[in-house]
Structure 1
């Protein structure tokens, strides 16, 4: 049995995280204090108010009169049928593009399908944890939300909400901690039925006003001219983060970004444009 004089008493105080130990001869051991900090919750991203009849709101561009801002957006497309092609080595990602955006310090919004996040979870997680980017929802498997949309297979109306939920689940599973409450319709196709189907999801549907034309493009200069000719203050530019179907996008970004900055544009994420749009269009 240990004599009382040799007993050591450990005292732990929650919150101050202070540990103190005393010995029989009265000698004091060093005290270690650990400060417990609680981070405040992240502010909720800005969204638009629901449209007439509670329909999902649609955002196409920011204010034209509040300064030269422009948002570059990138669709990370992949369908459920493209898994074998990815397994065979086809790239539906584009690491060089993401590296270029990082090197140029370009804030950007990536609209990601759930299937893309399933295929490239490390890249999805990296984007989701990088404050330079924000990751938003682009459906699970890039099926259309209308019956006639550039030949895309369609999602039945009864499954539209669950498709969006499935995509969010894939983003979180891949490690995207805070996917944005923004949704981009595959192909940009939507109708009242689609807007009604998503009215309880709480998303803002994000379209665009500048089509880059980078899908299947082989002439980077032509894509660059198209973007620079159409961009306006508040523009949302749609491009793609899919090397196999948009091979010129990295080269386009390397030319477009310096030129936009030379013209006095500030590059922002979609969330900033939506935040600027309170009562302004």
Structure 2
């Protein structure tokens, strides 16, 4: 493993040596290209965010694992149910959650039923101007936007056969410049069209109703890091309902477009 140090902003462990040099060059290129850009949009549906898919017979279940205070748990009941019933899904893993739950992260990565995606380094809304969402301050500029995506991306890439292809910010809020940065880094920004568990606050009957109402092409967001919430039982109730309607469950890599990176210019 490469030597690591602590990033002063996120507290994340970051590589040193050749890997750090490569990341620093990429970061400098992002800052050069986007540092003076001003955002025009802030919210859940920024231009370029994947909100739905073109699947005509499938739903994409996605589960955030957010990490941090109160969010470093694992909903083993949910994972067991998905695996036992052959329900494909995509898991967005935050850097802090992975460090606290290595066994669960390895289990998700090893299972071909699941996609593993990037949910940021410090679970921040993705902004180039420090905009906040739900009381959480976002990244403040192009450089910190790169850090929020890139530190966790580099870390997950070291654990997986192939680097993650999809990114969802903390709170799922983006501005349009941050979207372009994410795409330039080679990841597809992903939002959602169905709020399955209200940030893990909905009781099981509400989760069941929300998810059961999904239609083909929907991307459902829920959470796999709050085992005391209603998510697992709600998903258990919704899955057979959707299957009776003829819908399948697929990973994002099965139904969403492949991300295409547009390299940023090298810093002079």
TM-score norm. by structure 2 comes to 0.72
2:77 is equivalent to residue 96 of structure 1 = yes
The one of 33, 54, 62 aligned to 2:53: 62
The one of 224, 233, 256 aligned to 1:251: 233
The one of 107, 122, 130 aligned to 2:103: 122
Structure 2: which 5+ residue stretches go unaligned? 1-45, 259-268
In the superposition, relative to structure 1, how do residues 179 and 247 fare at CA in structure 2: closer, same or farther (>3 Å)? Answer: farther
Q: Partner of 2:133: helix, strand, or coil?
A: coil
The one of 88, 95, 108 aligned to 2:89: 108
The one of 175, 192, 199 aligned to 1:208: 192
Q: Whole-Å Cα distance in 1 between the matches of residues 109 and 162 of structure 2? A: 7
2:218 is equivalent to residue 235 of structure 1 = yes
Deviations 1:227-254 (A, max 9, x none): 223x11111000001125x611110111
Residue 10 (structure 1) aligns with: none
In the superposition, relative to structure 1, how do residues 72 and 199 fare at CA in structure 2: closer, same or farther (>3 Å)? Answer: closer
In the superposition, relative to structure 1, how do residues 218 and 204 fare at CA in structure 2: closer, same or farther (>3 Å)? Answer: closer
Q: Whole-Å Cα distance in 1 between the matches of residues 133 and 198 of structure 2? A: 18
In the superposition, relative to structure 1, how do residues 113 and 258 fare at CA in structure 2: closer, same or farther (>3 Å)? Answer: same
- The answer as to whether partners of 1:149 and 1:187 remain within 8 angstroms in 2 is yes
In the superposition, relative to structure 1, how do residues 105 and 133 fare at CA in structure 2: closer, same or farther (>3 Å)? Answer: same
Residue 251 (structure 2) aligns with: 269
- The answer as to whether partners of 1:118 and 1:170 remain within 8 angstroms in 2 is no
Alpha-carbon offset, residue 216 of structure 1: 4.3
Runs of 4+ in structure 1 deviating by more than 4 angstroms, as ranges, are: none
Residue 162 (structure 2) aligns with: 178
Q: Partner of 2:220: helix, strand, or coil?
A: strand
- The answer as to whether partners of 1:128 and 1:178 remain within 8 angstroms in 2 is no
Q: Partner of 2:184: helix, strand, or coil?
A: coil
Q: Whole-Å Cα distance in 1 between the matches of residues 255 and 87 of structure 2? A: 15
TM-score norm. by structure 1 comes to 0.69
In the superposition, relative to structure 1, how do residues 128 and 218 fare at CA in structure 2: closer, same or farther (>3 Å)? Answer: same
- The answer as to whether partners of 2:206 and 2:234 remain within 8 angstroms in 1 is no
In the superposition, relative to structure 1, how do residues 172 and 119 fare at CA in structure 2: closer, same or farther (>3 Å)? Answer: farther
Q: Whole-Å Cα distance in 2 between the matches of residues 142 and 187 of structure 1? A: 8
Alpha-carbon offset, residue 128 of structure 1: 0.7
- The answer as to whether partners of 2:62 and 2:89 remain within 8 angstroms in 1 is yes
Q: Partner of 1:59: helix, strand, or coil?
A: coil
- The answer as to whether partners of 1:115 and 1:170 remain within 8 angstroms in 2 is no
Structure 1: which 5+ residue stretches go unaligned? 1-54, 277-281
The one of 38, 54, 61 aligned to 1:72: 61
Q: CA RMSD in A?
A: 2.3
Deviations 1:106-147 (A, max 9, x none): 011001111111111121111111101110001011011131
Q: Whole-Å Cα distance in 2 between the matches of residues 254 and 105 of structure 1? A: 12
Alpha-carbon offset, residue 275 of structure 1: 4.4
Q: Whole-Å Cα distance in 1 between the matches of residues 164 and 181 of structure 2? A: 19
- The answer as to whether partners of 1:214 and 1:248 remain within 8 angstroms in 2 is no
Q: Whole-Å Cα distance in 1 between the matches of residues 134 and 196 of structure 2? A: 17
